[in-house]
Amino acid sequence: DQQVKQNSPSLSVQEGRISILNCDYTNSMFDYFLWYKKYPAEGPTFLISISSIKDKNEDGRFTVFLNKSAKHLSLHIVPSQPGDSAVYFCAASAAASGSRLTFGEGTQLTVNP
Amino acid sequence: EADIYQTPRYLVIGTGKKITLECSQTMGHDKMYWYQQDPGMELHLIHYSYGVNSTEKGDLSSESTVSRIRTEHFPLTLESARPSHTSQYLCASSDFRSSGANVLTFGAGSRLTVL
Protein backbone atom coordinates (compact mmCIF):
# COMPACT_ATOMS: atom_id res chain seq x y z
CA ASP A 1 0.00 0.00 0.00
CA GLN A 2 1.33 3.35 -0.99
CA GLN A 3 1.44 5.65 2.01
CA VAL A 4 2.44 8.82 0.17
CA LYS A 5 0.73 9.73 -3.07
CA GLN A 6 1.17 12.53 -5.56
CA ASN A 7 -1.82 12.24 -7.84
CA SER A 8 -0.70 14.73 -10.48
CA PRO A 9 2.10 13.36 -12.66
CA SER A 10 2.64 16.74 -14.27
CA LEU A 11 1.92 20.45 -13.87
CA SER A 12 2.54 23.31 -16.28
CA VAL A 13 2.53 26.99 -15.23
CA GLN A 14 3.60 30.31 -16.64
CA GLU A 15 6.67 32.10 -15.39
CA GLY A 16 5.83 34.48 -12.55
CA ARG A 17 2.66 32.65 -11.55
CA ILE A 18 2.13 30.35 -8.57
CA SER A 19 2.90 26.62 -8.75
CA ILE A 20 0.98 24.39 -6.33
CA LEU A 21 2.12 20.79 -5.92
CA ASN A 22 -0.02 18.45 -3.88
CA CYS A 23 0.65 15.36 -1.78
CA ASP A 24 -1.63 13.04 0.22
CA TYR A 25 -0.66 10.51 2.86
CA THR A 26 -2.36 7.73 4.78
CA ASN A 27 -0.10 7.04 7.76
CA SER A 28 -1.14 9.14 10.75
CA MET A 29 2.20 8.31 12.42
CA PHE A 30 4.15 10.51 10.01
CA ASP A 31 5.72 13.33 11.99
CA TYR A 32 7.83 15.09 9.35
CA PHE A 33 7.21 15.88 5.72
CA LEU A 34 9.82 16.92 3.18
CA TRP A 35 9.93 18.13 -0.40
CA TYR A 36 12.76 17.28 -2.79
CA LYS A 37 13.49 18.56 -6.28
CA LYS A 38 15.12 16.41 -8.94
CA TYR A 39 16.64 17.48 -12.25
CA PRO A 40 17.29 14.86 -14.97
CA ALA A 41 20.50 12.87 -14.47
CA GLU A 42 20.92 14.26 -10.95
CA GLY A 43 19.97 13.06 -7.49
CA PRO A 44 17.11 14.67 -5.52
CA THR A 45 17.98 17.81 -3.56
CA PHE A 46 16.24 18.87 -0.37
CA LEU A 47 13.94 21.90 -0.57
CA ILE A 48 11.91 22.34 2.58
CA SER A 49 10.38 20.37 5.44
CA ILE A 50 7.56 20.74 7.94
CA SER A 51 6.85 19.17 11.28
CA SER A 52 3.43 17.62 11.91
CA ILE A 53 2.89 20.09 14.75
CA LYS A 54 2.95 23.01 12.32
CA ASP A 55 0.65 23.96 9.48
CA LYS A 56 2.97 26.19 7.48
CA ASN A 57 6.67 26.62 6.82
CA GLU A 58 8.16 29.20 4.51
CA ASP A 59 11.61 29.55 2.92
CA GLY A 60 11.97 32.26 0.32
CA ARG A 61 9.77 31.46 -2.68
CA PHE A 62 8.80 28.08 -1.23
CA THR A 63 5.99 27.51 1.28
CA VAL A 64 4.69 24.18 2.49
CA PHE A 65 1.21 23.87 3.98
CA LEU A 66 0.07 20.90 6.06
CA ASN A 67 -3.55 19.92 6.70
CA LYS A 68 -3.39 17.06 9.18
CA SER A 69 -7.11 16.42 9.33
CA ALA A 70 -7.17 15.91 5.56
CA LYS A 71 -3.76 14.17 5.52
CA HIS A 72 -2.74 16.56 2.78
CA LEU A 73 0.19 18.83 2.15
CA SER A 74 1.07 21.20 -0.63
CA LEU A 75 4.13 23.05 -1.85
CA HIS A 76 3.64 26.58 -3.19
CA ILE A 77 6.28 28.22 -5.36
CA VAL A 78 5.83 31.96 -5.88
CA PRO A 79 6.84 33.35 -8.28
CA SER A 80 7.63 30.37 -10.47
CA GLN A 81 10.79 30.53 -12.58
CA PRO A 82 11.89 28.43 -15.58
CA GLY A 83 14.74 27.04 -13.46
CA ASP A 84 12.10 25.51 -11.17
CA SER A 85 11.22 23.03 -13.91
CA ALA A 86 12.00 19.64 -12.36
CA VAL A 87 10.36 16.63 -10.74
CA TYR A 88 9.19 17.35 -7.19
CA PHE A 89 8.96 14.52 -4.68
CA CYS A 90 6.99 14.59 -1.46
CA ALA A 91 8.39 12.44 1.37
CA ALA A 92 7.32 11.60 4.89
CA SER A 93 8.87 9.97 7.93
CA ALA A 94 7.77 8.53 11.26
CA ALA A 95 9.95 8.33 14.36
CA ALA A 96 8.43 4.91 15.06
CA SER A 97 9.97 3.66 11.80
CA GLY A 98 13.43 5.07 12.43
CA SER A 99 12.53 8.25 10.54
CA ARG A 100 13.25 6.56 7.21
CA LEU A 101 11.72 8.47 4.31
CA THR A 102 8.75 7.21 2.30
CA PHE A 103 8.44 8.96 -1.06
CA GLY A 104 5.60 9.79 -3.43
CA GLU A 105 5.77 9.20 -7.20
CA GLY A 106 6.77 12.75 -8.04
CA THR A 107 5.20 15.57 -10.07
CA GLN A 108 6.92 16.96 -13.15
CA LEU A 109 6.70 20.77 -12.98
CA THR A 110 7.25 22.74 -16.17
CA VAL A 111 7.51 26.52 -15.92
CA ASN A 112 7.06 28.17 -19.30
CA PRO A 113 8.80 31.48 -20.06
CA GLU B 1 28.03 21.17 -3.14
CA ALA B 2 27.41 17.40 -3.39
CA ASP B 3 29.61 15.46 -1.00
CA ILE B 4 28.27 12.05 -1.89
CA TYR B 5 29.61 10.33 -4.97
CA GLN B 6 28.29 7.42 -6.98
CA THR B 7 30.09 5.44 -9.65
CA PRO B 8 29.49 4.42 -12.32
CA ARG B 9 26.91 6.99 -13.42
CA TYR B 10 25.80 4.77 -16.29
CA LEU B 11 26.32 1.04 -16.78
CA VAL B 12 25.10 -1.31 -19.52
CA ILE B 13 25.87 -4.97 -18.93
CA GLY B 14 24.75 -8.41 -19.99
CA THR B 15 22.61 -10.83 -18.03
CA GLY B 16 24.45 -12.89 -15.43
CA LYS B 17 27.25 -10.42 -14.78
CA LYS B 18 28.24 -9.39 -11.27
CA ILE B 19 28.18 -5.65 -10.66
CA THR B 20 29.04 -3.34 -7.79
CA LEU B 21 27.70 0.19 -7.53
CA GLU B 22 29.98 2.39 -5.48
CA CYS B 23 28.84 5.09 -3.05
CA SER B 24 31.11 7.29 -0.94
CA GLN B 25 30.39 10.30 1.24
CA THR B 26 32.82 12.76 2.80
CA MET B 27 30.43 14.25 5.37
CA GLY B 28 31.05 11.70 8.13
CA HIS B 29 27.37 10.75 8.17
CA ASP B 30 26.46 7.65 10.17
CA LYS B 31 23.36 6.76 8.18
CA MET B 32 23.41 5.69 4.54
CA TYR B 33 20.67 4.47 2.24
CA TRP B 34 20.11 2.91 -1.17
CA TYR B 35 16.94 3.74 -3.08
CA GLN B 36 15.74 2.32 -6.39
CA GLN B 37 13.69 4.46 -8.74
CA ASP B 38 11.99 3.87 -12.08
CA PRO B 39 10.63 6.75 -14.23
CA GLY B 40 7.37 8.15 -12.93
CA MET B 41 7.57 6.03 -9.81
CA GLU B 42 8.40 6.68 -6.18
CA LEU B 43 11.82 6.06 -4.68
CA HIS B 44 11.87 2.66 -2.98
CA LEU B 45 14.22 2.03 -0.05
CA ILE B 46 16.12 -1.21 -0.67
CA HIS B 47 18.94 -1.08 1.93
CA TYR B 48 20.08 1.13 4.78
CA SER B 49 22.84 1.30 7.34
CA TYR B 50 23.05 3.15 10.64
CA GLY B 51 26.79 2.67 11.04
CA VAL B 52 29.81 0.48 10.39
CA ASN B 53 28.97 -3.24 10.25
CA SER B 54 25.25 -2.44 10.38
CA THR B 55 23.04 -3.14 7.34
CA GLU B 56 19.32 -3.72 7.01
CA LYS B 57 16.93 -4.53 4.18
CA GLY B 58 14.52 -1.79 3.20
CA ASP B 59 10.87 -1.76 2.31
CA LEU B 60 11.32 -3.13 -1.22
CA SER B 61 12.65 -6.65 -1.61
CA SER B 62 15.89 -6.64 -3.56
CA GLU B 63 18.31 -9.32 -4.72
CA SER B 64 21.19 -6.94 -4.14
CA THR B 65 23.46 -6.94 -1.10
CA VAL B 66 25.35 -4.15 0.67
CA SER B 67 28.26 -3.81 3.05
CA ARG B 68 29.42 -1.07 5.43
CA ILE B 69 33.02 -1.70 6.40
CA ARG B 70 33.92 1.98 6.52
CA THR B 71 31.78 4.93 7.54
CA GLU B 72 32.22 6.69 4.22
CA HIS B 73 31.66 3.73 1.90
CA PHE B 74 28.40 1.85 1.18
CA PRO B 75 28.67 -0.30 -1.98
CA LEU B 76 25.76 -2.25 -3.48
CA THR B 77 26.39 -5.57 -5.25
CA LEU B 78 24.31 -7.67 -7.64
CA GLU B 79 25.80 -11.15 -7.95
CA SER B 80 23.97 -12.02 -11.17
CA ALA B 81 22.29 -9.16 -12.98
CA ARG B 82 18.98 -9.67 -14.78
CA PRO B 83 16.92 -7.38 -17.03
CA SER B 84 14.48 -6.84 -14.11
CA HIS B 85 17.33 -5.08 -12.27
CA THR B 86 17.33 -2.30 -14.88
CA SER B 87 16.66 0.86 -12.89
CA GLN B 88 18.21 3.96 -11.35
CA TYR B 89 19.94 3.40 -8.03
CA LEU B 90 20.28 6.39 -5.69
CA CYS B 91 22.58 6.47 -2.67
CA ALA B 92 21.96 8.90 0.19
CA SER B 93 23.31 9.75 3.62
CA SER B 94 22.23 11.72 6.68
CA ASP B 95 23.48 12.68 10.13
CA PHE B 96 20.03 12.39 11.65
CA ARG B 97 20.01 11.80 15.40
CA SER B 98 16.62 11.50 17.08
CA SER B 99 14.73 14.72 16.49
CA GLY B 100 13.86 17.01 13.61
CA ALA B 101 13.52 16.08 9.97
CA ASN B 102 15.74 13.34 8.59
CA VAL B 103 17.21 15.30 5.68
CA LEU B 104 18.94 13.00 3.22
CA THR B 105 21.71 14.13 0.88
CA PHE B 106 21.61 12.17 -2.37
CA GLY B 107 24.26 11.23 -4.87
CA ALA B 108 23.71 11.75 -8.59
CA GLY B 109 22.60 8.16 -9.09
CA SER B 110 23.73 5.13 -11.08
CA ARG B 111 21.59 4.17 -14.04
CA LEU B 112 21.86 0.43 -14.67
CA THR B 113 20.70 -1.29 -17.85
CA VAL B 114 20.85 -5.08 -18.02
CA LEU B 115 20.47 -6.56 -21.48
pLDDT tens sequence across B52-79: 999 999 988 788 999 999 999 999 999 9
Length of chain B: 115
Q: B2: pLDDT confidence band, cut at 50, 70 and 90?
A: low
Q: What is the pLDDT of residues A5-63, one digit of tens each?
A: 999 999 999 999 999 999 999 999 999 999 999 998 899 999 999 999 999 999 999 99
Among B42, B58, B59, beta carbon nearest to A105: B42
Hey, which residues does A74 pair with through a beta bridge?
A22, A65
User: Using CA atoms, how far apart are residues B13 and B23, in angstroms rounded to an integer?
Assistant: 19
Q: What is the largest CA-CA distance in chain A?
A: 44
Q: What was the pLDDT predicted at B50? A: 94
Whether A107 contacts chain B with CB within 8 A: no
CATH for the B4-114 domain, from 3.30.360.10, 3.50.50.60, 2.60.40.1180, 2.60.40.10: 2.60.40.10
Angle at A75 between CA B46 and CA B40, to 5 degrees: 40
Whether A57 contacts chain B with CB within 8 A: no
* Mean pLDDT lowest among A85-89, B5-9, B99-103: B99-103
Identify the CA nearest to A44 among candidates B84, B4, B8, B78: B4
pLDDT, mean over chain B? 93
Residue A103: Cβ-neighbour burial (10 angstroms; 0-12, 13-18, 19+) = buried
CATH class of A4-112: mainly beta
CB contact under 8 A, B108 and A41: yes
Whether A100 contacts chain B with CB within 8 A: yes
Q: What mean pLDDT is predicted for residues A83-107?
A: 94
Domain edges within chain A: 4-112
Probe site for chain B from A33, A37, A46, A99 (most B CB atoms < 10 A): A99
User: Using CA atoms, how far apart are residues B108 and B115, in angstroms rounded to an integer?
Assistant: 23
Domain edges within chain B: 4-114
